[in-house]
Amino acid sequence: MSSASRPRRQRVDLDRPSTYQHLDPAGMLQCAVDFPSQVQHAAQIGAAFKLSRTFRNPQHIVLAGMGGSAVAGDLLARLIEDRAPAPFLVCRGYDLPKFVGPTTLFLASSHSGNTEETLSAVRAARRRKARVVCISTGGELRSFAQRQRPDPIPVLSIPQTDPPIMPRSALGYSLIPLVYLLGHLGLYPGAKAHVRETIAVLSSLRETVHPDVPTPRNPAKQLATSLFGKIPWVQGTAGLMGAAAYRWRCQFNENSKTLAYSSEYPELNHNEVVGWEDAPGLADQVEVVILRRPGDHPRIQKRVEITRQILKPKTRPHLVEASGRSHLAQLLWTVYLGDFTSLYLAFLNHVDPHTIDNINLLKSRLARA
């Protein structure tokens, strides 16, 4: 088809939903609007779930998952790293580290319950007599847990909505019940209060990034507009914001259908910063977003300011500072802003944020392999 005969696309105006509603038949934007309510519901699920004392005092914590379920593990690991006595590892793959055994709290997380890597990992964990808990809407993971004898594996059941939502839109369900679980086991003190604050912070942010809020007063729309036509590169400060930066990257990949990258301070000051010298001029195609939070180490704060000055000849980084008192509130506030930004960027890119064609293509070919 010649360029002259191609149908002209309607110009997307983020302040006129009629120009992009047809791009979102599955209602991904509404899922984002509803996220604070999802977190509240997930808190009720988490508060009602109890484990026996045999799960207490693990020597290690391992979460097996892929995609959005694994991202929940990344966030959880960073949340508890300065308070839990046990190290936390996220396992993305079929195999397990050698140390996984009877003293390991093993969290098998799969939204669908049919993620083949996670099913392989949980079977291995069960053989090694790890203390296993499954998190899922159902599928083979729940069936596997219920078939175990003489002691079925506890299942933290999260709801399968109708119509189903994508795992990346169900972060509240994959994360918040686990926050309560670790709080119940004494590994995350103050969980209930932190979740309560987080719901309030998310609800407040929604009032500024909601689709009804015009671009001049909507930071997510402003950021998406700046990123349009560019490669987003998200830099996060050490710990919480590093995990948030990875979530932003994944949301740009899946929702916006664009290449995106993430990195973390201070490590990026030992390698990436040199790449910005960039003789071929590739940096002209990149737009940088820096995520930071109150409480960052003073030297990290100084590194961010110096790095911004170094990057300014190439790009003027956008600075995002997390809101909230608790680490959980700061983390999910930042994640929530990124989710809306990725959706608005999807509409500017004229793509459906729900579809994952290449993932489906890969799965179909693997099924035949």
CA distance 216 to 16: 14
- Cα end-to-end distance, the chain, whole Å: 34
For residue 171 the two structure tokens come to: 């972060």
Assigned architecture for domain 208-348: 3-Layer(aba) Sandwich (3.40)
CA distance 297 to 200: 26
Complete edge-to-edge strand list for the sheet that includes strand 231-236 = 261-264, 231-236, 286-292, 318-321
CA distance 271 to 309: 17
E strand or H helix that includes residue 343: helix 327-348
Q: How many CB atoms lie within 10 A of CB 19?
A: 16
Q: With the CA atoms of 323, 328, 331 and 337 taken in that order, what torsion angle do they form, in degrees rounded to the nearest 10? A: -60
CA distance 141 to 162: 20
Our measurement of the distance from residue 175's CA atom to the centroid of its chain's CA atoms, rounded to an integer in Å, reads 9
CATH topology of domain 28-189: Rossmann fold (3.40.50)
pLDDT of residue 354: 96
E strand or H helix that includes residue 132: strand 131-136
**What pTM was computed for the model?**
0.94
CA distance 49 to 230: 44
Among this protein's residues, is 254 annotated catalytic?
yes
Of 117, 254, 264, 287, the catalytic one is: 254
CA distance 69 to 78: 15
Among this protein's residues, is 363 annotated catalytic?
yes
Of 98, 207, 270, 305, the catalytic one is: 270
For residue 4 the two structure tokens come to: 């002259």
pLDDT of residue 38: 97
**Region(s) of the chain under CATH 3.40.50.10490:** 28-189, 208-348
Instruction: Judge whether 54 and 185 are in contact, CB under 8 Å.
Output: no
pLDDT of residue 8: 57
CA distance 354 to 338: 16
E strand or H helix that includes residue 197: helix 191-209
Our measurement of the distance from residue 297's CA atom to the centroid of its chain's CA atoms, rounded to an integer in Å, reads 23
pLDDT one digit per residue (tens) for the chain, 369 residues: 444 444 556 789 999 999 999 999 999 999 999 999 999 999 999 999 999 999 999 999 999 999 989 999 999 999 999 888 999 999 999 999 999 999 999 999 999 999 999 999 999 999 999 999 999 999 999 999 999 999 899 999 999 887 789 999 999 999 999 999 999 999 999 999 999 999 999 999 999 999 999 999 999 999 999 999 999 999 999 999 999 999 999 999 999 999 999 999 999 999 999 998 876 778 889 999 999 999 999 999 999 999 999 998 888 899 999 999 999 999 999 999 999 999 999 999 999 999 999 999 998 999 898
For residue 161, give the nearest of 253, 336, 27 by alpha carbon. Answer: 27
Of 50, 129, 302, 363, the catalytic one is: 363
Among this protein's residues, is 350 annotated catalytic?
no
For residue 171, give the nearest of 105, 259, 244, 253 by alpha carbon. Answer: 244
pLDDT of residue 132: 97
CA distance 95 to 50: 28
pLDDT of residue 6: 45
